[in-house]
Amino acid sequence: MALLEIDNLKTWFHTRNGVVKAVDDISFTVEKGEILGIVGESGSGKSVTVHTLMGLVPQPPGRIEGGTATFDETDLLGASPEAQRALRGKRIAMIFQDPMTSLNPYLRISEQLIEPLLIHGLADRGTALNKAVAMLEKVGIRDAAERVHSYPHEFSGGMRQRVMIAMALITDPEVLIADEPTTALDVTVQAQILRLLKELQADLGVSVIFITHDLGVIAELADRVVVMYRGHIVEQGDVLSIFDQPQHPYTKGLLACRPRLESKFKVLPTVSDYLDETEVDGQVELSEKPDAAAHIESLQQVADPEIDENDLLLEVSGLQVHFPERAGFFSAPKGVVKAVDGISFTVPRGSTLGLVGESGCGKTTTGRAILNLVAPTEGSVQFDGREIAGFDAAAMLPLRKRMQIIFQDPYSSLNPRLTIEQALTEPMAVHGIGQHHAERRDRAAALLDEVGLDARFLRRYPHEFSGGQRQRICVARALSLEPEFIVCDEAVSAMDVSVQAQVLNLLKELQLRRNLTYIFISHDLSVVKFMADTMAVMEGGRIIEQGRAEEIYANPTEAYTRGLIDAIPRDSVSFIRERVE
């Protein structure tokens, strides 16, 4: 008998627009002491599945339409609310995606850590506190005895996720559910957290359900894998067979769409290269595209564009951005934060420069400073042979047409109160592109078409779109001014790998068609390597290494760069085989 057994579980949502079958008839088991990976994209039902187990599905609109979930011979779904509460947080614990918001900022870490112990009556205050300190040490927080009394804001994102893990494990649960616990983190921090989870699992013998959109993470961690798509389980099995011999076309697509450091793809394969969805009597049938293999083959044959390395569009030299630290209204500045501390690089026309580094290394500020969105403290920025550093808004205005930016979070980078039509036509109106509104609207429709969206979407508002669609709209908005140069600031970091592949392909395709020049900023070296011709690695406001992307990857000279490369989840079959055995 497995520790946790889910049979024919159905969780549906009854909304105004009809029934959404978020989880539709799924069955799987979790054995004692194993790590089960549930993988799927947003909307696949993976989160709803575990939320159902934890009783976190809002009812209504949600309703459990059928099925059972048996945990150690207790029916999780049918048990009384008291019995469920007694299990939750004590024998089944959960950690969430965003460590920044899942800790209460007003309570000390110590209070939050001992709360589960006190609630379940497992210890008195003194013992609970001792246990909290021991647990913090276990998750790798140094000086735990002192730091236990800190507030959450005194910890970095990775540290907070460690605290969350400590909080979940403090009651010695038998099952730990981790819902995308590393998605909001840098790759380097992700690698640390994954290592920690693996160690803790081996140490404590707890079963882990690990939910992610990224098969690479699964490869590092899981014993068995459940692949979910559209509320169904399309495939499940042990990790080696899923990676070595995926059966379902969706799994194949998911495996292929991840940019790999060693692969030669110029265009990334996407799930839709493998998967055919046909609707039969209102039911969606999934099947494999017959010519998938040949098509993938052809993707590797795409040739690189010719780049004239002497035709420089952007030349940055000695760029510095310092922010004063101020204590109060009347006090003099305390000191300066050197966000960018004297960096130089060049970008030839039609090429892509990748800026890579961890959070806080100054890569984002660099992008902003080039566009004069923050004022550079010193240094020169030459755009198409003209010095533009320190231009004010009026002087920048004609240049805005030529230089654009795309941001990380497609949810906050579109004004929720404007229709897509307004968002796309307003820049044209400001810059006097197009004679009248009708002409601008036609251009907006053409832009949507170019980024792969239906022109009928013009009337809609941003909240009606998915993250990937919104990012396409952001790309269309940046293109509305016909720029030559675009800064992509972590433009795909918030996306599922399957959506990420589509957006990366779109950006590459647009670059070829419009001869665009990019600065591509990311914390993920594998994405940068796919996109960029040249690469600059940043640490502490300085560039510590730069050159051709492939060369840096092949021969990193700095330990920091090495660390970035090592942090990328390894998902080769040989690696998994070695790990499993």
Q: ∠ CA 267-569-517 to the nearest 5 degrees? A: 35
Judged by beta carbon, residue 91 or residue 402, the one nearer other proteins is 402
The residue from 307, 418, 544, 565 that contacts other proteins (CB under 8 A) is: 418
Give the Cα separation of 72 and 159 in Å (integer).
33
Instruction: For the CB of residue 275, give the shortest distance to other proteins in the complex, in Å.
Output: 27
Judged by beta carbon, residue 137 or residue 509, the one nearer other proteins is 509
Residue 243 structure tokens: 């990676």
Task: Assign 30 to helix, strand or coil.
Answer: strand
The residue from 327, 456, 555, 581 that contacts other proteins (CB under 8 A) is: 456
Does 371 participate in binding other proteins (rule CB under 8 A)? yes
The residue from 111, 115, 137, 426 that contacts other proteins (CB under 8 A) is: 426
The span from the first CA to the last CA of the chain, in angstroms, equals: 25
Pair 208, 178: CB distance under 8 Å: yes
Angle between helices 292-299 and 249-256 (to 10 degrees): 10
Would you give the DSSP letter of residue 277?
E
Does 431 participate in binding other proteins (rule CB under 8 A)? yes
Give the Cα separation of 101 and 305 in Å (integer).
44
Q: ∠ CA 232-238-243 to the nearest 5 degrees? A: 85
Judged by beta carbon, residue 445 or residue 537, the one nearer other proteins is 445
Does 446 participate in binding other proteins (rule CB under 8 A)? yes
Instruction: For the CB of residue 565, give the shortest distance to other proteins in the complex, in Å.
Output: 29
Instruction: For the CB of residue 153, give the shortest distance to other proteins in the complex, in Å.
Output: 17
Instruction: For the CB of residue 455, give the shortest distance to other proteins in the complex, in Å.
Output: 4
Task: Assign 166 to helix, strand or coil.
Answer: helix
The residue from 118, 284, 397, 512 that contacts other proteins (CB under 8 A) is: 397
Instruction: Using the rule CB under 8 A, give the single segment among 52-60, 87-95, 390-398, 554-562 that binds other proteins.
Output: 390-398
Give the Cα separation of 214 and 238 in Å (integer).
16
Instruction: For the CB of residue 446, give the shortest distance to other proteins in the complex, in Å.
Output: 4
Instruction: For the CB of residue 512, give the shortest distance to other proteins in the complex, in Å.
Output: 16
Instruction: For the CB of residue 569, give the shortest distance to other proteins in the complex, in Å.
Output: 28
**Exposed, middle or buried: residue 241 (CB in 10 Å: 0-12, 13-18, 19+)?**
middle
Cis peptide preceding 173, ω within 30 of 0: no
The residue from 76, 448, 488, 494 that contacts other proteins (CB under 8 A) is: 448
Give the Cα separation of 130 and 346 in Å (integer).
55
The residue from 49, 52, 352, 404 that contacts other proteins (CB under 8 A) is: 404
Give the Cα separation of 230 and 3 in Å (integer).
26
Does 396 participate in binding other proteins (rule CB under 8 A)? yes
Q: Contacts with other proteins: how many residues (CB under 8 A)?
A: 47
**Cβ count near 548 (within 10 Å):** 12
Distances (CA, A) of 316 to 47, 304, 343, 346, 402: 45, 25, 7, 6, 17
Q: Where are the beta strands (DSSP E) in 230-299?
A: 232-238, 275-280, 283-288
Instruction: For the CB of residue 486, give the shortest distance to other proteins in the complex, in Å.
Output: 10
**Exposed, middle or buried: residue 370 (CB in 10 Å: 0-12, 13-18, 19+)?**
buried
Judged by beta carbon, residue 269 or residue 410, the one nearer other proteins is 410
Instruction: Using the rule CB under 8 A, give the single segment among 36-44, 165-173, 250-258, 411-419 that binds other proteins.
Output: 411-419
Judged by beta carbon, residue 414 or residue 501, the one nearer other proteins is 414
Does 436 participate in binding other proteins (rule CB under 8 A)? no
Instruction: Using the rule CB under 8 A, give the single segment among 4-12, 205-213, 247-255, 366-374 that binds other proteins.
Output: 366-374
Does 442 participate in binding other proteins (rule CB under 8 A)? yes
Give the Cα separation of 23 and 64 in Å (integer).
9
Judged by beta carbon, residue 190 or residue 404, the one nearer other proteins is 404
Instruction: For the CB of residue 460, give the shortest distance to other proteins in the complex, in Å.
Output: 9
Instruction: Using the rule CB under 8 A, give the single segment among 173-181, 190-198, 302-310, 365-373 that binds other proteins.
Output: 365-373
Give phi and psi for 398, each to the nearest 5: -65, -25
Instruction: For the CB of residue 431, give the shortest distance to other proteins in the complex, in Å.
Output: 7
Does 463 participate in binding other proteins (rule CB under 8 A)? yes
Pair 512, 502: CB distance under 8 Å: no
Does 430 participate in binding other proteins (rule CB under 8 A)? yes
Instruction: For the CB of residue 494, give the shortest distance to other proteins in the complex, in Å.
Output: 11
Does 196 participate in binding other proteins (rule CB under 8 A)? no
**Exposed, middle or buried: residue 106 (CB in 10 Å: 0-12, 13-18, 19+)?**
exposed
Does 405 participate in binding other proteins (rule CB under 8 A)? yes
Instruction: For the CB of residue 213, give the shortest distance to other proteins in the complex, in Å.
Output: 22
Helical H runs in 65-124? 81-87, 109-119
Site string for other proteins, 476-495 (x = CB under 8 A): -x---x--------------
The residue from 52, 102, 112, 408 that contacts other proteins (CB under 8 A) is: 408
The residue from 445, 476, 519, 564 that contacts other proteins (CB under 8 A) is: 445
* Edge-first strand listing for the sheet containing 542-548: 403-406, 485-489, 517-522, 352-356, 534-539, 542-548
Instruction: Using the rule CB under 8 A, give the single segment among 18-26, 168-176, 412-420, 561-569 that binds other proteins.
Output: 412-420
Does 109 participate in binding other proteins (rule CB under 8 A)? no
List, in sequence order, every residue forming a beta bridge with 537; answer none if it has no partner. Answer: 356, 545
Pair 209, 194: CB distance under 8 Å: no
Does 322 participate in binding other proteins (rule CB under 8 A)? no
Does 412 participate in binding other proteins (rule CB under 8 A)? yes
Distances (CA, A) of 8 to 5, 31, 87, 165: 10, 18, 22, 30
The three-state (H, E, C) secondary structure of 447-472, written as one string: HHHHCCCCHHHHHCCHHHCCHHHHHH
Contacts of other proteins in 16-75 (CB under 8 A)? 16
Does 364 participate in binding other proteins (rule CB under 8 A)? no
Question: Interface with other proteins by CB under 8 A: which residues?
Answer: 16, 329, 368, 371, 373, 393, 396-397, 400-401, 403-405, 407-409, 412-419, 421-422, 426-427, 430-431, 441-442, 445-446, 448-450, 454-456, 458-459, 461, 463, 474, 477, 481
